[in-house]
Amino acid sequence: MSKPYRRLDIHNAAVLLVDHQAGLLSLVRDFNPDPFRNNVLALADLAAYFKLPVVLTTSFEEGPNGPLMPELREKFPDAPFIPRPGQINAWDNEDFVKAVKATGRKQLILAGVVTEVCVAFPALSALEEDFEVFVVTDASGTFNEVSRHASWDRMSQAGAQLMTWFAVAAELHRDWRRDVEGLGALFSNHIPDYRNLITSYNTFKASKPQLKAVP
């Protein structure tokens, strides 16, 4: 059954980054390491660009899962950081759920490692509590494509929307006139070929009147 189009809203969205930890990252095999790291950092950059609330969490850091990607702590030094002592499903951790609810947002943009556990479990739990969940597929990784598609099917059938970080950014932005240079720089920093578009745009801009900004 088809569902109505629910658009991401910068005034109602928060970003949850779950278990992007050194040990767990070594398990990701459905993406190559460098592109995957780039996707995670792109999601982090768009969260900062749109000034979205961010919640960070890790699981059992003292064990083989290891510490959170340092870039995420550096980018969001003031964001809630919940080092879970053992709970596999982040939603089973009371502090994490409190931090999510404290954002006041009902749209949860979620990514993590590994997809079928660290993403799927809190996604399903949040859906049960009437949150809208948007899973960032290319910033979530797992062992192989079988695991990936099984978890995608499970989450989408429960009502989660599957997106890429690029689509998340575009849907939040909605109108290029809001800020051409800012969004263009974000895309160019994470998609090298996109720089060709920005070069073309800059050439065009130099010979044409400026686009009127949208408030």
C-alpha distances (whole Å) from 44 to each of 38, 68, 136, 170 are 10, 13, 11, 15
Q: Which fold has domain 13-172?
A: Rossmann fold (3.40.50)
Q: Which pLDDT score, from 0 to 100, does residue 209 have? A: 61
Q: Which pLDDT score, from 0 to 100, does residue 1 have? A: 60
Catalytic site includes residue 122 = no
The type of residue at 153 is D
Q: Which pLDDT score, from 0 to 100, does residue 208 have? A: 67
pLDDT < 50 regions, the chain: none
Surface-to-core class of residue 160, CB atoms within 10 Å of its CB (0-12 exposed, 13-18 middle, 19+ buried): buried
- Residue intervals of the chain classified under CATH 3.40.50.850 are 13-172
pTM for this one?
Answer: 0.93
Q: What is the pLDDT of residues 84-96, one digit of tens each?
A: 999 999 999 999 9
Question: Cβ neighbours of residue 174 under 8 Å, at least 6 residues apart?
Answer: none
Average pLDDT over the chain reads 94
Q: Are strands 161-163 and 13-18 parallel, antiparallel or unpaired?
A: unpaired
* Active-site position among 28, 82, 118, 133: 118
**CB neighbourhood size of 14 (10 A):** 22
Indicate the DSSP class of residue 98.
H
Task: Give kind and range of the element (H or E) at residue 81.
Answer: strand 81-84
